[in-house]
Amino acid sequence: MNRIEAMFEKLSRNGQKALMPYITAGFPDLQTTAALIKEMTRCGAGMLELGIPFSDPIADGPVIQSSFTQALAKGLKNKQIFEMISEVRQEVEIPIAAMVSYSIVNRLGPNEYIRHCVEAGIDGLIIPDLPLEEAKPIVELIQKAGLCSVMLVAPTSRIERQNAIAKMSSGFIYYISVTGITGERKELPAELVDNVVRLKEVSPGKPVCVGFGISTPGQAAMVSKVADGVIVGSAIIRRISEAENSGRDGIVKHVSQYVRSLAEAMA
């Protein structure tokens, strides 16, 4: 069984929810990324979402965009990311899903990119700019390779479209809590709970995880009451930036304290 599927099955049996931190690969460097992955595992993360830097992201807010720019400015290559994940896999068992633009996948070739993911120890792919109407061929390749193909559902999606996305998605369904780009929000939409409940009704048996906008332990706790997983990204990337001058150890300490507070709130 895929690590993502196994994780959600275990959590469901225990009545628990998954904390799913997002970090950008190579920000501020790959060694720090590796150190963060290892430490967040110890701080209560159930799964790790790894953003693959891209020069023209479509849904990422300024915080994550800046992390992409800085990583790419240092000449980061996909080969280096795969090598880092392979090394981390020797110590880390939690699932890792890569959030990657289809442009990157297509440039290398879907079969080749998926092969590298499998060899490195990646468990799933989230391709935010792959429209449902064009997704079937790549989704079939991903699932044939034993990886999960995680699809995104927007709050504006009609119920028929949500149903179609849910059927194609494997591992979990990524529900976008707010319209627009990623970034911390002081308040989450009032309709969030009802929307997640409705999505779960049309996708029985498939975990639904919520991302975009979640930044405080209170928000994480609230979302975890209805969703199967909570994804936190921009708030973590901001904390990496805040601690950048304190070196790798300072970054890891600053971020781990925050991740631990989220995990404790969701317990």
CB 165 within 8 A of CB 153: yes
29 is catalytic: no
- Of 9, 29, 60, 242, which one is the catalytic site residue? 60
- Residue 50 is inside which H or E element, if any? strand 48-51
* Cα-based angle 180, 53, 242 (whole degrees, multiple of 5): 80
Token code pair at residue 184: 């911390």
CA–CA distance, 200 with 205 (Å, rounded to integer):
8
49 is catalytic: yes
- Of 5, 39, 49, 201, which one is the catalytic site residue? 49
161: Cβ contacts below 8 Å, ≥ 6 apart: 132
186: Cβ contacts below 8 Å, ≥ 6 apart: none
Residues that are catalytic: 49, 60
